[in-house]
Amino acid sequence: MIPHSRPTLGQAEIEQVVKVLESGHIAQGERVHAFEQEFARRHGLDNALCASSGTAALHLVLLALKIGPKNEVIIPSYVCSALLNAVRYVGATPVPAEIDPETYNLAPADVKKRLTKRTRAIIVPHLFGLAADLEGFSELDIPIIEDCAQATGATYKHKPVGTFGKAAIFSFYATKVMTTGEGGMIVTNSREIIDYARDFREYDKTETDKIRFNYKMTDIQAAIGLAQLERLESFIRRRRTIAQKYQKALSSIGFRLPPEDPEHIYFRYVIDLGTDSAPMIRGLKGKGIQSARPIHTPLHRYLRRDGYPKTDEAWNQCLSIPIYPSLTDQEIKRVIKSVTETYEEVSRAGNS
Ligand SMILES: Cc1ncc(COP(=O)(O)O)c(C=O)c1O
């Protein structure tokens, strides 16, 4: 079976982890600090803070922005439930908004309609590795939290994503662009946000009894992260090469391919079949290819709300096929062949 996702790990990561194990210091320490510094440097920012996950990073940012029960936070409906959870952790009201069906990213025009006096922030993911319309959001004059969980290393107008909002978060979960197993990062130009987030991240040796968390990353994870960061550019090159191969082979089949944008890093290769993707997922599984709906459940359904036709359509029709640096040329050929054949089979069955 060719899996839908697979981390790209090698000798460099193994050596860095062994060094940490041999040092005897395995919890948060010097490697975490080095990872933060290198991550901030690569983004041209002063501050970065590691966390135990992308969700934890988002929770810390919401706390640092002092968002609470009286506030609303706008999030896309077409995204994973981590955003819904983080907004609820601080007691704020999540307000789901619609996507732009061309890019699957949050649509500024729809967000604008949902702004109220209580709106305190907009969480803007760069979904599937393509930067959202950041210019459109900057006009709304509400603090933006960039969610770069799926877009580490991507750019918007040639500047790294994560450098446009009030703060940004990243995820290093095993399936992400680069990984630490589990892990996250906050970046921001604001010293105040970082200091606040750091204060919430760890509970020990504090003067006050304010409620704090244990959201720390370990040096073992950071060592993997530092090794992955060194390889990030090559990871992105490989993702783009695979996307080009898919583009060339699949453009005449009859379904819609991802937007062709030179700044896209193709964290996911999402095709729009124009019809329910379930039969295609089953058919591909039968041929040894794991594929998936790229979003498990739209958030408005968890909240039992109607009125999100673009999100519902994307959820129904979109299919994510394997794309990651360790996918071999042989595997790419198998994916192309299987997708082409399965689409023909499914279309034929649908027409008969
Ligand atoms: C857009 C987005 N934001 C946040 C997260 C949460 O990251 P983590 O799984 O590291 O908590 C994810 C993870 O899938 C994600 O895709």
pLDDT per residue over 231-287, tens digit each? 999 999 999 999 999 999 999 999 999 999 999 999 999 999 999 999 999 999 999
**Do 35 and 110 sit in the same domain of this protein?**
yes
- Counting atoms of ligand 1 from 1, which one is nearest the CA of 56? 11
Enclosing H/E stretch for 47: strand 47-51
The answer to the question of residue 1 being in a domain is no
Nearest CA among 169, 205, 13 for reference residue 79: 169
Ligand 1 pocket: which residues have CB below 6 Å? 53-55, 79-80, 82-83, 125, 147, 149-150, 171, 173, 184
**Do 283 and 320 sit in the same domain of this protein?**
yes
Q: How many domains does the structure of the chain reveal?
A: 2
Enclosing H/E stretch for 269: strand 269-272
Point out the domain boundary residue: 227, 243, 273.
227
Pocket test for ligand 1, best of 73, 81, 150 (most atoms within 8 A of CB): 150
CA dist., res. 239 & res. 260, Å (int): 13
Report whether pLDDT(332) > 90: yes
Q: How many CB atoms lie within 10 A of CB 337?
A: 13
**Do 139 and 63 sit in the same domain of this protein?**
yes
CA distances from 225 to 91, 142, 173, 271, 299 (A): 32, 32, 11, 30, 30
The answer to the question of residue 216 being in a domain is yes
Contact residues for 195 (Cβ-Cβ < 8 A; gap 6+): none
Which percentage of the chain shows pLDDT scores above 70?
100
- Give the angle subtended at the CA of 318 by the CAs of 312 and 323, to the nearest 5°: 145
- The CATH number for 334's domain is 3.90.1150.10
Nearest CA among 235, 230, 219 for reference residue 17: 219
Report whether pLDDT(204) > 80: yes
DSSP reduced 3-state for 71 = coil
pLDDT tens digits, 335-349: 999 999 999 999 999
pTM confidence score: 0.98
The predicted model gives 134-144 an average pLDDT of 96
Q: How far is the CA of 352 from the centre of ligand 1 (A)?
A: 41
Pocket test for ligand 1, best of 5, 62, 80 (most atoms within 8 A of CB): 80
Point out the domain boundary residue: 227, 254, 269.
227
Contact residues for 2 (Cβ-Cβ < 8 A; gap 6+): 288, 289, 290, 322, 327, 331, 334, 335
- Phi-psi map region of 319: left, alpha, beta (phi>0 left; psi -120 to 50 alpha): beta
Pocket test for ligand 1, best of 171, 179, 186 (most atoms within 8 A of CB): 171
**Do 165 and 236 sit in the same domain of this protein?**
no
Name the residue with the closest Cα to ligand 1, atom 14: 80
Q: Which amino acid is at 340?
A: T
- The CATH number for 91's domain is 3.40.640.10
The rounded mean pLDDT for the chain is 97
Q: How far is the CA of 149 from the centre of ligand 1 (A)?
A: 5
**Do 304 and 203 sit in the same domain of this protein?**
no
**Do 117 and 258 sit in the same domain of this protein?**
no
Q: Which domain holds residue 282?
A: 232-351
Name the residue with the closest Cα to ligand 1, atom 12: 149
pLDDT of residue 350: 82
Point out the domain boundary residue: 227, 249, 268.
227
Q: How many CB atoms lie within 10 A of CB 118?
A: 12
The answer to the question of residue 5 being in a domain is no
pLDDT of residue 351: 76
